[in-house]
Structure 1
Amino acid sequence: MPTQNPYASDDNNAMFGSGLDAWEQGYEIAISSPPVVPETPLSRNPVCNTAWTEGALAGNADGRSDGWRLRLSDTGSGIVPENWPDVVGAESGGPDEEAMGFPKRFKGVGYLPLTLMLSSIAPDTEDGKSRTAPEQVTSLATVCGDKKYPSLYLPLYAYRSEGPPRSDFWHGEATASFGEAAHKLKENFSNSRFIDPQTPALIRYLPGSEHYFWDWLPLGSAY
């Protein structure tokens, strides 16, 4: 069972961030960066420093015991999955997924795709960058509960941008229908107008998932 965030009831939103957010950041980086515990980034807030370190230790421990998770990078190289060699794939979880070309799933972590989902299914709940990642993910779970969505899917793939070597990404609308999301991904990817489209996949989110957990379902069995 994943380690719980001890700052979950902390309402300290100091100028440089809260312990809740810092702990989740440390956890996310560590559980997707095997095998060593990452260094704590410098912060002027001692609460955040401590929380980040505690989160990183917990993430590393959970990665070792429950399996490492991939995350999506958007730091100058587009949104692409990281740490493929370290993350063990499993069956996607249902006959529909396998029949439509998604036989594998990889455990993922990170708030980035979840905020994309939130802006897709409930754009009026978005409040720009003023909202913290935990607040946005909590809103996503609430919206899914209100709409009675048992799961949510986001079609997404990366592609190479023109100009200096870098990548970007395309994503469709989030939907509770696996079939609809799969169709949109295949249709857009096969007729992509972008340069070198790659890593087509669905992101599957289960409302109530701990931390920023989700599943990565790549199209095809090449991963």
Structure 2
Amino acid sequence: MPRTNPYLGPENAFGPPIEARGWQAGYDAGVSSPDAVPEAPPTRNPGFMDAWRTGAADGHADGGTEGWRWRLGPGPATRPPGAEARSSGETGPGASDFGIALKSVGAPPLRLILRDRAPGTADVWTVQLAGRALRQVLTGAGSQEQPGGGGPLYLPVCLGPAHGLSGDPLHEAGYWHGSVSGSFAAAGQEAAEHAMVRVPHFPGLVRYRPVDDHNFWDWLPLEQGDLTLL
């Protein structure tokens, strides 16, 4: 079972402790780095850096036992060695076009879904803890009022080309995205339509299920598209 963030505790006006954010950022890097535990980035806050190192070691350990995860971030999309594809488990129209799924990690797509489901959520701390914030929104008090609350949510994504600075975390990381939907069929149709008009195109679906506090999600590539990046 994946390790949990040991720094989560009472929140203040600025959200969870900075150590909690550091641990999650390090964990995301470690669980997607099969070669070695990654080095911590330079930062002026020693608490964030120390927690980042702990998270990276925990994530690397979980990657070795739970399975390595692909991380969506700036630069080319690459699947880490050992990240095995499995059946997507989707059924109904269009399911055969999205037949496989890859375990994935990373906050950018979850921040987009969080913005859609909870407009006005402060990005100041959800940059690292988007998965935790999103799970709380979808499963906490009032979640029944949220469209798709508690069930899978889908986000059509294209892995290229770069789209420049816009204040949109996925565009800034170099990816196109469509609309958040609780419907697999609707999201799949939008991804397929984008695949027909964008070149190069590496389309698919981000599938998020509110299971725990991690930035975990599934990547469902459109198998009829160009998958050379994977």
**TM-score, length-scaled by structure 1:** 0.82
User: Structure 1 residues 161, 139: CA separation in 2 closer, same or farther (over 3 Å shift)?
Assistant: closer
Of stretches 86-95 and 50-59 in structure 1, the one that deviates more from structure 2 is 86-95
C-alpha separation between the residues in 2 aligned to 1:44 and 1:189?
42
Q: Which one has a larger percent strand, Structure 1 or Structure 2?
A: 1
C-alpha separation between the residues in 2 aligned to 1:48 and 1:13?
18
C-alpha separation between the residues in 1 aligned to 2:57 and 2:12?
22
CA deviation string 1:124-157 (max 9, x = no partner): 2333x43433554343223323123411100010
Correspondence for 1:115: 111
In the TM superposition, 1:33-48 aligns within 5 A as 33-48=33-48
CA deviation string 1:48-104 (max 9, x = no partner): 222111101101100011110001122xx3xx5333544111111233387341111
In the TM superposition, 1:139-158 aligns within 5 A as 139-145=133-139, 146=143, 147=146, 148-158=149-159
C-alpha separation between the residues in 2 aligned to 1:186 and 1:173?
13
Unaligned runs of 5+ in 2: 164-172
User: Structure 1 residues 138, 27: CA separation in 2 closer, same or farther (over 3 Å shift)?
Assistant: closer
C-alpha separation between the residues in 1 aligned to 2:41 and 2:12?
19
C-alpha separation between the residues in 1 aligned to 2:109 and 2:92?
23
Using the aligned pairs only, state the percent identity.
35
C-alpha separation between the residues in 2 aligned to 1:107 and 1:115?
18
Correspondence for 1:172: 178
Correspondence for 1:70: 70
Provide the alpha-carbon RMSD of the alignment.
2.8
* The one of 203, 212, 217 aligned to 2:220: 217
- 1:47 corresponds to which letter in structure 2? G
Instruction: Give the paired residue count.
Output: 210
Any conservation in 1 of the 2:34–2:81 contact (CA below 8 Å)? no
**TM-score, length-scaled by structure 2:** 0.80
- 1:40 corresponds to which letter in structure 2? A
